[in-house]
Amino acid sequence: MNAITDLWNVHPRHTWLRGERPSEPVEFDKETGMWHVYGYPEAVTVLGDPATYSSDVARRFVPGSDQWDFDGNLTQLDPPEHKKLRALVSRAFTPKMVADLEPSIAKVTDELIDELESDEFDLVDALAYPLPMIVIADLLGTPREDRDLIKKWADDSLAERGQIKTTDEDGEQARSIASQSDDQRKMNDYLLEHVVDRRRNPKNDLLTRLVQAEVDGDRLTDNQVVNFTSLLFFAGHVTTTMLLGNTLLCLDAYPEQMARVRADRGLVPAAIEESLRCLSPLASAYRATDADVELGGTRIPKNQMVEVWLSAANRDPRRFPDPDTFDITRNPNPHLGFSQGVHFCLGAPLARLEGRVALNILLDRFTEVRVDHERTPQFLTSPDFTGVWTLPLRTRR
């Protein structure tokens, strides 16, 4: 086992993080009624064919779901509805808008490091969590002081995603992958207040741009804006928090690569990409079959739930030589850390930017950054995600 694997107290579903290979690229789980896709080429096939593998899984398989819960949630839509909504959202959430955030991301990172009272601290509490929450709050125009409340709602929703429910009635499958909790609804009610306010009192923020975005005469409804911004808060803070923590965990496990990155900052983006492959924050994606299909030599009937394990595909030796080794020189590195196809993560440029800026500043501010192995890092237990939720560090300024 390598240095990362030795540390990895993983969810039992993530056996590949301990160097154990799934026996087949596609397997059926009788306990959950779910088809699991582990192989890289098989994952690419599923993600690249929305006509056969539908993203509209929650309304099919989650009892009590309705249109209102997912209207505006890009992860639950198929073309052409997905293309139309993504075009509207992209009109407001532009690459230039993200790129222009770099100075403010650097400023927030420096401020958070300035607040440290000791050279021993938890990376997540000190930086990896508050940074994306502050950036997203400022971007949307919501008060920074509300971030702990929003974090509670998002974290409670995340915890619920780790619970799997199944039913055998009429052969149906169900999984609580998207059902809305009370905390989720509180968060949506909170965001709705801000959306309604922006329609009346426009400001220079993303919420205003979202409510004003227009393509071919169409605009986003209040509910669509709420569900998109809720997803942005949830996915934005979770993904970036784990991305930064996972990258430092990997670099600590391979000190010679940490030294190379410190000496050549042009390698920072490559280190982040390899971290996304090696410890993919978003571990899986869900699809439903719209036809009988054959995948990886296995026949999957119509109207079945398919779980695509991005994190397992990213360690498929058929695509990545020596897949369990963290290697910042890996090239090419076509990982699926942000998914692929029409559902490629819209927030990927922001997560990458935050990770790059924060890692560079950490290396600027500290001559030494290493994991404190006397205080064991804690890992997220939800099967849908891969990442550290606490990462104690020892540093030297």
Q: Are 62 and 175 in contact (CB under 8 A)?
A: yes
Q: Are 18 and 5 in contact (CB under 8 A)?
A: yes
The DSSP call for residue 282 is B
User: Beta 34-37 vs 378-379: how paired, if at all?
Assistant: unpaired
Any idea what the CATH number is for the domain that residue 85 is in?
Answer: 1.10.630.10
What domain range is 39 assigned to? 3-396
The DSSP call for residue 126 is I
Q: What is the pLDDT along the chain (397 residues), one digit of tens a residue?
A: 355 665 555 667 788 888 888 999 999 999 889 999 999 999 999 999 999 999 998 767 665 555 556 677 888 899 999 999 999 999 998 999 999 999 999 999 999 999 999 999 999 999 999 999 999 999 999 998 887 888 777 777 666 654 333 333 333 333 334 445 677 788 889 999 999 999 999 999 999 999 999 888 889 999 999 988 988 888 778 888 999 999 999 999 999 999 999 999 999 999 999 999 999 999 999 999 999 999 999 999 999 999 999 999 999 999 999 999 999 999 999 999 999 999 999 999 999 999 999 999 999 999 999 999 888 888 877 788 888 889 999 999 8
Give residue for tokens 């098989």: 42
Count the domains in the chain. Answer: 1
